[in-house]
Chain A
C-alpha cells in the first residue's frame, strides 16, 4: 500500500514539475513570438523618411545696410559686402534672403575673431616655407578684395598680402541660380607659400540650432536628409570626398561614396531651398557638414576645393616627410547655387532641378517605354579553392544551367529577365583582373546565351589575391606601395592601375560588343602617380570613354550616367551615417523614367520583407545573385561571402517577389515620380506622372489614406 502511495506521490510530483516547466517555457516562447509580431521595420530610424515639420518660417526684415546691390534679374538680386566679400541673395519670388554670413550676428555676442570667421566669404589654407598650415579669412586685414562688375558677372580679385597668393572668383547671376568660378589660371603664388585649399561661402545657409525647420540633403546612398537640430550624435565634423577617397592617396580605406557632386539645403519645407552643384573640380572637392554642437551652435555645410594634395611619406627608421607638390591642380573650381521656392523647395524639387541640368547637359534622355519591368539575375560562374598542388575548381553555374534556370523562371511567371554573368572570367572569380575578361570555356560561351539578354560581368578595377603581393598591373600609390585592402583573413583586394583600366575596358567592351556589365569603374575614381594621371584627368577620361555606348553599370557616379543603360545595385537606403535622420529616394526620383534601375541582390537581404516594400515604393526592379550549385561549396574559396546564392532554395522566393513587385511597377513603367509625401510615420505616398499613386504602409497597423485602406506591411496602387 505504502509502495503504491509512494509511486502516486512521485508520479504527481513529476507531473507537476513537468507542467510547471512547460508553462514557464511557454512564457519565454510567448515573449519571443510577441517580438516577432510587434517589432516594427525600424520606422523610427534613419532608414525611413519622416514627416516634415511644415511650420511656416518667417525670416523677418533683413538689414542690408553694409551691402551693395551688384547684380539683379527678375528672380534674384545679389548683394555684396566689400569688407568681407559676403554675399546675400534675395529670392524675389519668396522675398527670402540667403546669406553667406550670419544674419543679425550681433544678437549672438560673439567676439571679433568669431565674427570675422562667420562673416567671411571664403577661407584659404596654405603651407608656409616650413610646411606649417596657415589660414586666411576674407575678413582678415591680410586679404585685400577688389571687385568689378561687367554684365551679369561680378569679379572679385583677392590678394593675400603676407601669403603672396592671389586668386580671383567670378559670380555670375543666372535666372534662378548663381555660379561661382575660380579659374586655375588666375591663381598665382609669388612667394614660397603653397596654397592648399579654398572654401567658398562656408556659412551660406547656416542655421542656428533648430531655429529654421528644414534639412540638409546629402547624396549619400539613395539620398540622405539631416534635419536641423540643436544637438547631434557626432562630436566632430563630417567630411567626405565626392566619388569617395582617392586610392592613389589614401591607403587601405574604402569610405562611403557620394556619387553625385551635389548637396542641398532646405529652409522651411516647401518655402525655400537651395541646390548646390559642383560643376568643376569636384574630384578634388571635400564636402563638410558641421552640426550645431560643434561650431557656435550653427548647422552648416560647405565644400572645400583642395588645390593640391599634401601627404606624408614615411621612411623606415626616420620621421615622416611632408610632401607638397610643386604645382596646383590645373582644374577650375565651379559651383552653381540654384534657388528653389515654394512647392519646389524640398528634396523632390532638388531632384527635379538637378535632373533638368542633366537633361540640358545631354546626360539623361527620357525613356518613356511602358514595357513591363524586368528583373536582373546575376549568375555566379566559378571559383577555386586551394588543393594540394592544383587548384580545385568549383563550377557553380554554367551557361547550360542558366538556360535551365531561365526555363524554370519563365514557367514560374518570371519573364523579362536579363542576366549578368559574374565569375565567368577565365579561371574563376578570384582570378579576375583588369586583363582577364575572357569567357571561361569550362562554363560554356557567350554564344550559348544568344537567345537571352545576357551581359558579361567585368570589373576592371578590382582583383583579389590571397597574398599581399600581386604581380603587376596593380595601382602603385603615392607612397610607392602596391595599394591593397584586406577584405578577410587571406583575402586582399587590389586596384588596377588607371591606365590599364582605361585600355582594357575599351578592349572588353569591344570584344563583347556591348554585352558587358561594368562594375568597379563606375564608383572607384583614383589617380595614378606612375602613369602621371590625376583624379580629375581620370574623370575627364571616363566621361568620354564609352562614347555613345550605353551599358549596364554598377552604381555609376555622375560622370558615367550618360553611358548607363541600366543602373545596377541601386541603393535603397542612405549610408548609415550617425547624424543622418532620414533616407530619401533621391537617386530613384532623379532617374525614374530615364534610366532603369535594379535593387541590390535581394536574396542577400537580412530584412527581405522590408526591402521588397522599399522596391515597390521606390520603383526598383528586383535583382538576385544566384548559382546552380549550393553556396556552401564556395566556403573554402575567396568568394566565401557569396553565401546565399543557391538557386534551388531561392527560386520560389524570386518568382513570388517578381510577381508581386512587377504587378505594381508595371503600372508605372516609363513614368516619372512627381511627388512623394509622408502623411504619417511609416506611410509613403508616391505619385507618378501617369497619374498612378502607390501607397506603402510599413507599419504593423492598417492605414486609411484618403479613404483607401492599406493593410499592415503592404501597399496599394490607386
Chain B
C-alpha cells in the first residue's frame, strides 16, 4: 500500500515536472516584417515580444571544422576556434580568411581558447592549459595546481580559460564546483574565484523528497553547478554563465568576486558561452529552442534575442547546437555552431545601431542625442520597452514628471513610476496643502456649531420609516451582527452554533462577496504599484476556483475530519463560521486597496502591514472558530488543523489521480479506435 502511494506520488511529481518542462516557446515567424527570423525584445508587458530585425546574418563560414567547442576573437580581429575533434586550434584571420592551425600534436581535446594582451594564445585542454606564442610555438603548460589550497580531491579538467590584463589566468574545470580556478601569470594557484551556490528551494526540496537516491544527485543535487563559460572585459571584470542554473545563470563579478547583476527572468537555463564587447555590451548563446543569441546592455538588461535551434536546417539564424560566441571590432557577432560545424556571422542592422547609440548617449548624459535615438526606436517598434524607460528617465532628469510618469506607465516600469509619483504627489501637496487645511478646518468648525444637523432639519426629510424597515430586515441585522466579531469573536461563533443568528444563505452571500472583493481588489482597485496582476493574463474561472474552491475544500475537509474527531460543529456551522471569520477581508480589503493608490514604494511597507494584518486577523478568527464550534481543547484543535490540511491535500490528489486515469483511458480508447480504423 505504502509502495503504491509512493508510486502514485512519483507519477504526479513527474507529471508536474513534465508540464513545466514542455512549455515550449514560439515557432513561426512574423509575416508583417518579412524578416528572415524572429528577433525578440522585452515588450510592454515585460515579456518577450517580436521586435524589428536587430542582426542580419551576412556570412556563413565553413573551414572544415570537426567538433568545434569555442570561439574567441582578439583585438586584431583574428578568430581562434578550439576544435576538439581535430585536436587543434584554428587561427582564422578575418580580413584575409587565412586559416592556420595551432597546437597540432600537443593538444588532445581542446575546448577553450583565448589570448592575452600580448597576443599569446591560451588553450584549455583536457588535463592542462597550454600557452602558445603568437606564432603557435608552445611556451608553457599549466598543469594541475600543487598548492594544498587547491584541494586534494578537486578536479582539474580545464574546459574554458580567460586571461586578464595582469596575466592572471581564470580556468573553469569540468566537475569542479568550488569555483573558477585562478592562477597568476607564473601559474601559481591564487584561489577560487566567484564560487557558485545552491539555494534549497521548495521545488528542489520536493524533488529530493520523492526521487530515488541515484536520481537525486542527477536531478536535484545540492552541490553547486560548475561554471560553464566565462569572459573578461577590458576593465578586468569577469562574466560567467552557468548551464542548467535558473535565475542567476549569468553573473558579472566586481573585483572582490561578488555578482553585481540582479536576477532576471529572461536569463537562460542553458547558457553555453558569453562574450563582452568594447562598450561593455554582453552577448550569450544558449541551447534554447528560440532566442539562442542574447544581447544585453552593460547592466545586463536584455536588448535582443534571436536565432533558434533546429537540426538539419539550411537557413541562416538556425543552429544545430550553438556552442560559442565572439564579437569582432566592428561589433559583428560570430556564432559557432558545434553541430552544424560552421560559423555564422551577424551584422547590426540600422535598428540595432540606433538602440546602441541611444544607450551610449544616455550613459554619457547626452540627452538630446539619446532622445532622438529613442524616438527613432519607437517609430520602428512601439513595443520596445527600454526606449520608453529611457525617455521616461530623461524626462525625470529634466523634471518633466508628467511626461516621465506617462512613459513609465506605458513601459510598466514600476520603480521609476514610484519615484516620479512621489515627486508628483509631493508637488500636489505643496500646492494644495493650504487649501486642504482650510477646508478641513471649516468642516470641523461647521460640525462644532451644529450647522449640519440644522441644515438637515431644514430639509424636512423623514427617515423614520426607512430606518424601521432597515431595522426589520433580517439580512441587515445579520450583517450588523457580523461587526461584533471585531469585539467578541467567541460570542459570535457561539451564537452561530446555538443562536442560529446567521442564516446559511447570508453566508453564501458573504462567500460570493468575498470572491468578488478579492478579484476586483487585486485586478482593479489596488494601486498600480502594488498590483502584480494583469487583466490580460486573468483567467476568470481560475480566479473563481482560487478563492472559492479553497474555502469549500477547507470546509468539507474540516467537516469530515471533525466528525471523526467528535467535533460538535455541523457542516452549516463550519461554513458560516468560516465566512464570518473573513469579515476583516470583506470589510477592509477594498479600503486598504484604495489607500495603496496613493502610496509609493517608499511607504510600501504601510500597505504590506495593513494587508498582512487583515489576513492575520482572519486566520485568528478561523482558529477561534474551529476551537469554539467544535468545542476543542488545544491538543484536539492542533490535530484537527493538521488533519484538515491532510484531508484537503488528499482530496486534491484524488482528483488528480482520477483526472490522469481518465485521460489515460480516453487516450487508450482513441488509440484503439485509430488503430482499428487505419490498420484495416
Contacts and interface: CB of A to CB of B under 8 A. Distances in A.
Interface of A: 25, 28-29, 31-32, 35-36, 39, 42, 44-47, 231-236, 238, 252, 254, 256, 293, 313, 315-318, 321, 323, 385-389, 480, 485-489, 493, 569, 571-572, 575-579, 600-601, 603-610, 625, 630-632, 635-636, 640-646, 649-650, 653
A180 B369 CA distance: 64
A39 B536 contact: no
A632 B44 contact: yes
Given A480-B674, A600-B34, A606-B351, A238 B314 contact: yes
B269 interface: no
A36 B360 CA distance: 13
A576 B410 contact: no
B47 interface: yes
A605 B670 CA distance: 48
Interface size class of chain B, counting residues whose CB lies under 8 Å from the partner chain: 35 or more
Given A32-B356, A388-B535, A641 B62 contact: no
Contacts of A605: 33, 52
Given A632-B44, A644-B382, A575 B36 contact: yes
B331 interface: yes
Q: Top 5 A-B pairs ranked by shortest CB distance?
A: A233-B60, A45-B58, A631-B382, A576-B36, A606-B53
Contacts of A603: 380
Given A578-B60, A641-B49, 11 more contacts: A45-B347, A254-B29, A485-B27, A488-B50, A572-B34, A579-B60, A604-B32, A607-B350, A642-B32, A644-B380, A653-B379
Interface string B58-95: 11111010000000000000000000000000000000
Interface of B: 24-30, 32-37, 43-45, 47, 49-54, 56-62, 64, 278-279, 312, 314-317, 330-331, 340-342, 344, 347-353, 356-357, 360, 364, 378-384, 410, 523, 535-536, 538, 540, 667-668, 670-671, 674-675, 678-679
7 contacts: A316-B671, A323-B678, A480-B674, A486-B24, A487-B28, A606-B33, A610-B350
Contacts of B57: 45, 576
A640 B50 contact: yes
A607 B674 contact: no
A44 B58 contact: yes
Contacts of A232: 62
B28 to A, nearest CB: 5
B342 A635 contact: no
A370 B360 CA distance: 49
Contacts of A234: 314
A236 B360 CA distance: 43
Nearest to B47: A489
Nearest to B384: A643
Interface centre among A39, A234, A578, A630 (most CB of B within 10 A): A578
Nearest to B361: A29
Contact of A575 (B27, B58, B315): B315
A609 B278 CA distance: 27
Given A28-B360, A643-B382, A601 B62 contact: no
B364 A25 contact: yes
A631 B35 CA distance: 19
A640 B38 CA distance: 13
Contacts of A313: 674, 678
Contacts of B315: 256, 575-578
A608 to B, nearest CB: 7
Contacts of B61: 233
Contacts of B30: 487, 641
B436 to A, nearest CB: 35
A388 B539 CA distance: 9
Given A316-B667, A607-B350, A632-B383, A485 B44 contact: no
B316 A577 contact: yes
Contacts of B349: 606-607
Given A577-B315, A604-B34, A632 B410 contact: yes
Contacts of A44: 58-59
B53 A649 contact: no
Contacts of B381: 643-644
Contact of B44 (A39, A579, A609, A635): A635
Contacts of A604: 32-34, 52, 380
A636 B410 CA distance: 12
A641 B33 contact: yes
Nearest to A485: B28
A321 B678 CA distance: 9
A463 to B, nearest CB: 14
A293 B342 CA distance: 13
A31 B279 CA distance: 9
A577 B51 contact: no
A318 B671 contact: yes
A485 B316 CA distance: 21
A47 B56 CA distance: 10
Contact of B34 (A28, A571, A608, A631): A571
A571 B678 CA distance: 43
B535 A387 contact: yes
Given A35-B353, A578-B60, A635-B44, A321 B679 contact: yes
B353 A39 contact: yes
Given A32-B360, A321-B679, A632-B383, A606 B43 contact: no
Contacts of A25: 364
Contacts of A644: 52, 379-382
A605 B353 CA distance: 14
A608 B348 CA distance: 13
A318 B62 CA distance: 42
Given A45-B56, A389-B540, A606 B350 contact: yes
B675 A636 contact: no
A148 to B, nearest CB: 42
Contact of B59 (A45, A254, A387): A45
A247 to B, nearest CB: 12
Contact of A31 (B64, B278, B344, B347): B278
B331 A35 contact: yes
B54 A606 contact: yes
Given A316-B668, A579-B314, A632-B44, A609 B350 contact: yes
Contact of B538 (A47, A386, A487): A386
A649 B387 CA distance: 15
A303 B674 CA distance: 34
Contacts of A315: 671, 674-675
A604 B33 CA distance: 5
A468 to B, nearest CB: 12
Nearest to A48: B58
A260 B60 CA distance: 26
Nearest to A293: B62
